[in-house]
Amino acid sequence: MAKQQLPDVPDCLCTEFIEKTGEPCPSKSRSPKNRLIIALCGMAFCLCLMLFPRNADGNEAAEEPSVSADFPSDDPAVTLGRPGWYQGGVQPCLRYNGKLYYWQGISQENVWMDAHYVTIADTSSYLPEGCAEIGEISGCTVDAPTEELQLQADFVTYGPVYRNPDTPEVLYAYLANTWGNAGDFYYVRFVTDTLCNSELIFWQGNYYRIAVGRTDVTPWLKELPEGAQVIGNLSFIGEDPMPQKDLETNQLSDAYSYALNGREVLAVPGDSNTIYVYCHRYWAEGDYPAWLACPLWKLPS
Predicted local confidence at residue 168, as pLDDT: 97
3-class DSSP state for residue 141?
strand
Residue 10 lies in a domain: no
Which residues form the domain of 231?
196-297
What's the pTM value of the predicted model, to 2 decimals?
0.70
> What does the radius of gyration of the chain's CA atoms come to, in whole angstroms?
27
120 pLDDT above the threshold of 60:
yes
Which of residues 175, 191, 207 is at a domain's end? 191
Predicted local confidence at residue 216, as pLDDT: 93
Closest CA to 193 of 84, 55, 301, 276: 301
208 or 183: which leads in pLDDT: 208
**Are 276 and 203 in the same domain?**
yes
Which of residues 170, 191, 212 is at a domain's end? 191
Query: In this predicted model, what pLDDT tens digit does every residue of 132-154 receive, in sequence order?
Result: 999 999 999 988 999 999 999 88
- Euclidean distance between CA atoms 31 and 33, whole angstroms: 5
Residue 36 lies in a domain: no
Partners of residue 248 on adjacent β-strands:
235
Asked if residues 265 and 277 have their Cβ atoms less than 8 Å apart, the reply is yes
111 pLDDT above the threshold of 80:
no
- Euclidean distance between CA atoms 44 and 25, whole angstroms: 25
**Are 203 and 101 in the same domain?**
no
**Are 115 and 132 in the same domain?**
yes
DSSP label of 139:
E
**Are 89 and 158 in the same domain?**
yes
Residue 138 lies in a domain: yes
**Are 218 and 283 in the same domain?**
yes
Which of residues 157, 191, 225 is at a domain's end? 191
**Are 180 and 79 in the same domain?**
yes
Query: In this predicted model, what pLDDT tens digit does every residue of 192-221 receive, in sequence order?
Result: 999 999 999 999 999 999 999 899 999 999
Neighbouring residues of 78: CB distance < 8 A, sequence distance ≥ 6: 84, 179, 180
Q: What is the 3-state secondary structure (H, E, C) of 171-211?
A: EEEEEECCCCCCCCEEEEEEECHHHHHHCEEEECCEEEECC
Banded model confidence at residue 109, pLDDT cuts 50, 70, 90: confident
In terms of DSSP H, where are the helices of the chain? 11-21, 26-29, 32-51
Neighbouring residues of 241: CB distance < 8 A, sequence distance ≥ 6: 166, 167, 250
**Are 238 and 138 in the same domain?**
no
Q: What is the 3-state secondary structure (H, E, C) of 33-99?
A: HHHHHHHHHHHHHHHHHHHCCECCCCCECCCCCEEECCCCCCCCCEECCEEHHHHCCCCCEEEECCE
**Are 168 and 259 in the same domain?**
no
Q: Sign of dihedral through CA atoms 192, 198, 203, 208?
A: negative
**Are 186 and 212 in the same domain?**
no
125 pLDDT above the threshold of 50:
yes
**Are 144 and 243 in the same domain?**
no
